[in-house]
Structure formats: C-alpha cells, structure tokens
Amino acid sequence: MADLEQHFLTDPEALAWIVAELGPRPGERVVELGAGAGTIAQALSREVGPADLTLVELDPRLAAGLRERFGAARVLAEDWRQAWRRLPPPDVLVVSLPKALVPKVLAAVAERPPRVAVVAVAADDPPRLPRGLLRTATRPLPPASFTPPQPFDAVAWVVRAADGGDGDSRAIPRRA
C-alpha cells in the first residue's frame, strides 16, 4: 500500500498546536480521516475520551493497530467516503489523507461542516476551499515533521464553516 502516502505526523509541537486549534471537548464527536498510526488520535485522546473518537483508516494493518491502541474508539477500516456518508456530522475533524484526496474531502466537508477541522495540504499545491469554508489559521509542516519524512512540505489548515464564504482560502491568514 505504498501509494497511500503513509507518513505519520510525529512532531510534538505540531501535534500540540493541532489539539489547541481544535479545542476538542469531552462528549464531542471527533473524527480522524486517515488515522494511520494514531499519533494525532493519541494527542486528541488527552482531551476527549477514546469513546468520543472515530478513526477511519483504509489500511487494514494500521486499523488493527488502532483497535489495539484505542480500545474504546470506533475504528473503521474503510475508505473515507464510505465512512463520511454513514457517520453523523462530527464536531471536530482531522483530515490526514493523501494530498490527491484533499480537494474531494474538502468538498464533502463543505456540505456538512464540523465546528472545526484541521486539514493537511501540500504547501506547493494547496487546494481551493469550497464555498462555505474558511481557513482561519495555518502551520507549516516540513518533511521532518513526519515519520518517515514526507517528500514535500505540507501545511496544516484550520478550517471552519463560513457564512457566505467565497471559497478564498486566504480569507484569514493568521499564522501560528
């Protein structure tokens, strides 16, 4: 499954920034699309209980590891599109999917936006935000932020629903 771009965010400062920007609260529905090895889920589980986590991971080996590591979490070993159609809208969303899928995920998220989402995007080829979503913060994620290092620079976007958003991803360019 080498084509799944399996690079796991392991930078402790970036993980702490994501959790702070998401501000998850106990009892909120937290979904991670592309949960991988569970590094982001681990950081989130310090704020919400594992029972509040839904982890979606296509790779069955990684999904099995997530089940072992987060026993009370709901782990779905399936494509993000299947899970997204069946799940109730989350309060908090993390998107850690290959860069080619991000535009499709953002379009789906725009139809049912969470309270807040963090989406990893390629720094050199960021997708356009669909109408109704607004980027409110960013954080660079250089290749060394991941294990193994990614072959490109990424950026974490904090995304929220926008009233009458125009699809411009530069609307509020606050930086960490």
Domains for the chain: give ranges and CATH numbers. 2-161 (3.40.50.150)
DSSP β-ladder status, 154-161 and 133-141: antiparallel
**Mean pLDDT along residues 63-69:** 97
Looking at the DSSP bridge assignments, the partners of residue 95 are 33, 119
At 104 the pLDDT is 97
- CA 127 to mean position of chain CA atoms: 15
pLDDT at 163 over 80: no
171 vs 50: which has the higher pLDDT: 50
Stated pTM of the model: 0.89
At 97 the pLDDT is 94
Contacts of 18 (CB under 8 A, 6+ apart): 9, 40, 43, 94, 118, 139, 156
> How many residues are there in the chain?
176
**Mean pLDDT along residues 66-82:** 96
At 50 the pLDDT is 87
DSSP 25-81: -TT--EEEES-TTSHHHHHHTTTS-GGGEEEE-S-HHHHHHHHHHTTTSEEE-S-HH
% of the chain surpassing 90 pLDDT: 86
Cα of first residue to Cα of last residue in the chain, in angstroms, is 33
Query: Closest Cα to residue 138, out of 114, 162, 119?
Result: 119
Sign, Cα dihedral of 96, 66, 58, 84: negative
Report the alpha-carbon distance of residue 47 to residue 111 in Å, rounded: 27
pLDDT band at 23; cut points 50, 70, 90: very high
Query: Closest Cα to residue 60, out of 121, 119, 120, 6?
Result: 6
- CA 13 to mean position of chain CA atoms: 16
pLDDT at 172 over 90: no
